[in-house]
Amino acid sequence: IHPSSDEDGIEQDLLVSGSLRIIDKDGEIIVEYRPLEDTVDPSNMLCAGKDSSSVVEWAQCPGERSHQLLETQQSYETEWDMVNAVSFKRKPCPNGEGESRWAFTFSVSDLRSITVKEEGWTFLIFKLKESSTTLPTLHFHQGGSREFLDSLRRFVCVLCVCRTPDDETCLIVSTPNKALSQSFENLLDDNNFGLVHKFKKDPYVTTLGGFSKVTNYIFDAFRGTEEQHQRPPEEVADLLGEVIPGLEINQQEEPGFEVITRIDLGTRPQVTRREPLSADDWTKHQDPEGRMIQIPHLRQVIFKGGLCHAVRKEAWKFLLGYFPWDSTLEERKALQRNKTDEYFRMKLQWKSVSEEQERRNSRLRDYRSLIEKDVNRTDRTNRFYEGIDNPGLVLLHDILMTYCMYDFDLGYVQGMSDLLSPILYVMENEVDAFWCFVSFMDQMHQNFEEQMQGMKTQLIQLSTLLRLLDLAFWNYLESQDSGYLYFCFRWLLIRFKRELSFQDVLRLWEVMWTGLPCQNFHLLVCCAILDSEKQKIMEENYGFNEILKHINELSMKLDIEEILQKAEGISLQIKSCKDLPDSVSSILGFTSDVSGSEPSNPGSPWAPRATQRQDACSNGHGHLRETSSHNSCKVAFIS
């Protein structure tokens, strides 16, 4: 800080160096500045434990215990556990006083804005909600301002970014909703909820369940503080723009913008399912050289009934795009030979890394550690993976490690083992399972990227579809702080893998891989499940916690054939609507159906891949608007 020279006893051009910390003190987040004279004694410091869920105290003082486990706050995300019992030994102030005159602290809940200036170096000006309190300007002569702001963003929501004529950047901030956080804690503390017991036994479910990082991030960003419930529509649009970077939300009622309140979709058609495709029927769809024939009819048959298990090993290679539909038997054998060589070259890359090399490669080391942890808890009740030293677990591990060599930018992310497990179970072959997994990950890649743009877009698309199908139910969910369907996060992330029995997962995936009857059919599967549960949710007047609990307890209780039947009926119902909004047509790929061709599906291997852009958003009042670049509200998003 640069103290004012006008104060008594202050020499001109005095610079006071100090340290800036963000502290969790009894659940309240505090920003603390202390001059160097008040810094912490390095002989007594805290170090993170290897499991990232505990903190140990390291003491260099002789005669004292060297490591002491400190109490931690066990949150619903172990990766986010925070220390609530922290103690430091302080050096005595040189002048004998207890506190320096330059030290200050404030709670982030009292913070109104941060102004960022550049004058050869960066300095920050904090403004509190109490305008009478003035804090010293913090000058970062040696850098670190960006790191500080990045850390601070973990605890506050940046609502907007303004630029002044002096080229200053002003960050308007808002703290998270404490009532919401408390509701999660109450849910976890309630022993009557069987969900909690299951979560405590399996932390992995915690990561992928309704309490996932992205779920809370999206919910907090959408809802903000209690005051934001009364915000005008343009500020709701700002919040929506923060969560989905790049969306431009027009606030004007202009020609060319559709405003959708309620549309008569007509009666939902009754559809029937058929028996799975048999091995004989599969053979009938091959010519003498092994090429698949009558492919549209074949896909339709698979969509209506799935496959018998004897056919899956071959059929999945076509459905996932590993085998071209028009390839001959000899061409497929040659392809497999080439792919086998390519696979083992990549496998040798990580197999040949010595322990000494791996010690200097933290990224590979972290991938291996995470894979080993996840493999040991993936589908262990399935006979293919049960028991100690099961060869299936070794293959699962090796394929995931080799995928890190194939796509080192993505590497391994929790949840990918869930996607590989059924594929390896069906293929019973390391190489074929790997390349089928690669094809599946091409479809699912955005779900696992750091920004998780695919997940954000799908949640918005699902909300759009549900709002069209049942506005009353969507309004009810919105009134219970559940309108953004955060409880569907796990469904979308790993394609219902933990919601259905293992055999039902095989059936659902092969049906979805046909690309029929529309693109994003998995979103209609979500709608079908919610349609079956809406009566109970509304009649029982479920609130935020009860909805979350109810949806999570549906796991392993769903009838896949009933769900697929209803989802197909919803698809036909929407497609028959004459006044279908363009935004919904775009989500389901019905716009290309005008010429009589089948809808393109970027999630299916047989269709050309195209980048999909979400063109519908909510204005916060149950309406949909198409986006436009003209006269739109642009929001700067800060992650």
For 31-100, give the DSSP string. Answer: EEEEEGGGPBPTTEEEEE-TTSS-EEEEE-STTS-SEEEPPEE--SSGGG-EES----PBPPPTTS-SS-
Q: What is the reported pLDDT for 91?
A: 43
Q: What is the reported pLDDT for 126?
A: 85
Closest CA to 317 of 296, 339, 287, 345: 339
| Cβ 29 vs Cβ 107: under 8 Å | yes
Residue 26 CA, chain-centre distance (Å), reads 29
Residue with tokens 């698309």: 461
Question: Which of the four CATH numbers 3.40.640.10, 2.60.120.330, 3.30.1330.40, 2.30.29.230 does domain 15-37+101-175 have?
Answer: 2.30.29.230
Question: Which of the four CATH numbers 3.40.50.10860, 3.90.420.10, 1.10.472.80, 1.10.1790.20 does domain 453-588 have?
Answer: 1.10.472.80
Q: What is the mean pLDDT of residues 628-636?
A: 35
Residue 562 has pLDDT above 60, yes or no: yes
Q: Are the folds of 15-37+101-175 and 453-588 the same?
A: no
- For residues 153 and 175, give the distance between their C-alpha atoms in angstroms, rounded to a whole number: 10
Beta bridge partners of 313: none
Q: What angle do CA 389, 394, 395 make, to 5 degrees?
A: 145
- For residues 505 and 422, give the distance between their C-alpha atoms in angstroms, rounded to a whole number: 8
| Cβ 287 vs Cβ 293: under 8 Å | yes
Backbone φ, ψ for residue 601 (5° rounding): -135, 110
Give 76-117 pLDDT, tens digit per residue: 333 333 333 333 344 444 444 445 678 888 888 888 888 888
Residue 241 has pLDDT above 50, yes or no: no
Distances in whole angstroms, Cα of residue 523 to Cα of each of 287, 467, 472, 568: 36, 13, 19, 11
- For residues 307 and 513, give the distance between their C-alpha atoms in angstroms, rounded to a whole number: 12
Sorted by where each begins, the domain ranges of the chain are 15-37+101-175, 308-447, 453-588
| Strand (E) or helix (H) holding 550 | helix 544-552
Is 0.85 topped by the overall pTM? no
Q: What is the reported pLDDT for 100?
A: 67
Give 499-534 pLDDT, tens digit per residue: 999 999 999 999 999 999 999 999 999 999 999 999
- Residue with the bigger pLDDT between 471 and 231: it is 471
Give 189-238 pLDDT, tens digit per residue: 444 444 444 444 454 444 444 444 344 444 444 444 444 444 445 544 45
| Cβ 583 vs Cβ 616: under 8 Å | yes
Q: What is the reported pLDDT for 30?
A: 87
- For residues 478 and 22, give the distance between their C-alpha atoms in angstroms, rounded to a whole number: 34
Helix, strand and coil content of the chain, in percent to the nearest 5, comes to 45, 15, 40
Of the chain, the percentage scoring pLDDT greater than 70 comes to 64
pLDDT band, residue 268 (cuts 50/70/90): very high
Closest CA to 497 of 418, 387, 564: 418
Distances in whole angstroms, Cα of residue 202 to Cα of each of 198, 207, 399, 418, 497: 6, 9, 23, 14, 15
- For residues 486 and 329, give the distance between their C-alpha atoms in angstroms, rounded to a whole number: 46
Q: What is the reported pLDDT for 107?
A: 86
Distances in whole angstroms, Cα of residue 71 to Cα of each of 54, 82, 202, 469, 593: 8, 10, 21, 49, 60
- For residues 219 and 213, give the distance between their C-alpha atoms in angstroms, rounded to a whole number: 10
Residue 394 has pLDDT above 80, yes or no: yes
| Cβ 510 vs Cβ 306: under 8 Å | yes
Q: What is the mean pLDDT of residues 568-590?
A: 92
The least confident of 149-158, 249-258, 310-319 is 249-258
| Cβ 441 vs Cβ 413: under 8 Å | no
Question: Which residues, 6+ apart, have CB-to-CB distance to 107 below 8 Å?
Answer: 28, 29, 30, 31
The least confident of 29-33, 372-376, 595-599 is 595-599
| Strand (E) or helix (H) holding 618 | strand 616-618
Residue 451 has pLDDT above 50, yes or no: yes
Give 604-628 pLDDT, tens digit per residue: 444 433 334 333 333 333 333 333 3
Q: What is the mean pLDDT of residues 422-426?
A: 97
Residue 35 has pLDDT above 50, yes or no: yes
Distances in whole angstroms, Cα of residue 34 to Cα of each of 21, 39, 105, 190, 258: 9, 7, 9, 41, 56
Residue 554 has pLDDT above 70, yes or no: yes
Residue with tokens 């262990």: 380
CATH topology assigned to domain 308-447 = Helicase, Ruva Protein; domain 3 (1.10.8)
β-pairing, 28-35 vs 72-73, is unpaired
- Residue with the bigger pLDDT between 190 and 409: it is 409
**Torsion angle, CA of 471/475/476/478, rounded to 10 degrees?**
140
Q: Give residue 387's region: left, alpha or beta (phi > 0; psi -120 to 50).
A: left
- Residue with the bigger pLDDT between 97 and 364: it is 364
Beta bridge partners of 626: 616
- For residues 29 and 95, give the distance between their C-alpha atoms in angstroms, rounded to a whole number: 30
Residue 360 has pLDDT above 60, yes or no: yes
Average pLDDT value over all residues in the chain: 75
- For residues 115 and 173, give the distance between their C-alpha atoms in angstroms, rounded to a whole number: 11
Question: Which residues, 6+ apart, have CB-to-CB distance to 626 below 8 Å?
Answer: 256, 257, 258, 582, 583, 615, 616
Q: What is the mean pLDDT of residues 626-639?
A: 34
- For residues 6 and 10, give the distance between their C-alpha atoms in angstroms, rounded to a whole number: 7
Q: What is the reported pLDDT for 21?
A: 87
Residue 400 has pLDDT above 80, yes or no: yes
Question: Which residues, 6+ apart, have CB-to-CB distance to 524 below 8 Å?
Answer: 465, 518, 567, 568, 570, 571, 588
Helices and strands of the chain, counted as H and E runs? 23, 15
Angle between helix axes 521-539 and 544-552 (nearest 10 degrees) is 120
Closest CA to 581 of 571, 595, 591, 572: 591
